[in-house]
Amino acid sequence: MTKKTTYNFLIITILITFFAVFNGFIYTSNENENPVKLTEQAMHGQRLWQENNCWSCHQTYGLGGYLGPDLTNIYSAENKGPSYIKAFLNSGVKAMPKFNFSEEEKNALVTYLKFIDSTGYYPNYKAKFKSNGWVELEYKNEK
Ligand code: HEC
């Protein structure tokens, strides 16, 4: 090997090693991991939410259909909450169908919406703009 090839080989080896170590670090670090587990009841509610197409008219975190309002923080909204949510499910309104849910199913949906509410704010007006250009959002479920 010429001197130049040896030199290139060395550089490549260093780069590959750096790449391997860096990837090992990235893929094994559990920083930023904040697993939130849904309870059985909340998962039941999530299933009902999907099966009954609530999402086709409603949004959570701004995502979903736009016929009805965003329900991210409906659970903790002033003058709303569990019985308010149930009232809508019981009777429907002009553009929202009436659902014949059992009490258990209504509770599951309320628990699901309570869970969503516990994760944060939408729209998030509590954002701080940092001097380095990043935006810091306020979450509800931070450790
Ligand atoms: C066909 C569209 C449609 C579907 C499907 C639908 N909704 Fe609605 N919903 C609406 C509309 C429109 C409103 C607003 C009614 C109003 O305020 O006049 C509404 C209002 C609500 C409200 C009250 C919101 C507020 O801030 O006052 C809740 C809670 C709600 N819906 C829950 C649900 C759930 C849970 C489901 C699924 C089981 C569902 N909706 C399915 C259209 C829909």
pLDDT tens for each residue of 7-45: 999 999 999 999 999 999 888 887 666 677 899 999 999
> For a pocket test of ligand 1, which of 44, 50, 55, 57 has the largest count of ligand atoms closer than 8 A to its C-beta?
57
C-beta of 91 in contact with ligand 1 (< 6 A):
no
Q: From the CB of 110, is ligand 1 less than 6 Å away?
A: no
Residue 45 in contact with residue 108, Cβ under 8 Å?
A: yes
Ligand 1 atom nearest to 53, measured from its CA: 5
Burial of 119 (0-12, 13-18, 19+ CB in 10 A): middle
Q: Is the CB of 15 under 6 A from ligand 1?
A: no
Residue 49 neighbours by CB distance under 10 Å: 20
CATH code, residues 40-119? 1.10.760.10
- Overall residue count recorded for the chain in this entry: 143
Before 82, cis peptide (omega within 30)?
no
82 C-beta closer than 6 A to ligand 1 = no
User: What does pTM read for this prediction?
Assistant: 0.80
Whether the Cβ atoms of residue 107 and residue 41 lie closer than 8 Å to each other: yes
Q: Which residues of 67-83 are buried (b: 16+ CB within 10 A; e: fewer)?
A: ebebbbbbbeeeebbbe
95 alpha carbon – ligand 1 mean position (Å): 8
Mean pLDDT, all residues of the chain = 92
Q: In this structure, which amino acid lies at residue 26?
A: I
Mutual angle of helices 103-119 and 40-51, in 10-degree steps:
100
What three-state secondary structure class fits 125?
A: coil
14 C-beta neighbours (distance < 10 Å), count = 10
Domain boundaries, the chain: 3-33, 40-119
pLDDT band at residue 59 using 50, 70 and 90 as cut-offs: very high
Averaged pLDDT for residues 87-101: 94
Ligand 1 centroid distance, CA of 68 (Å): 5
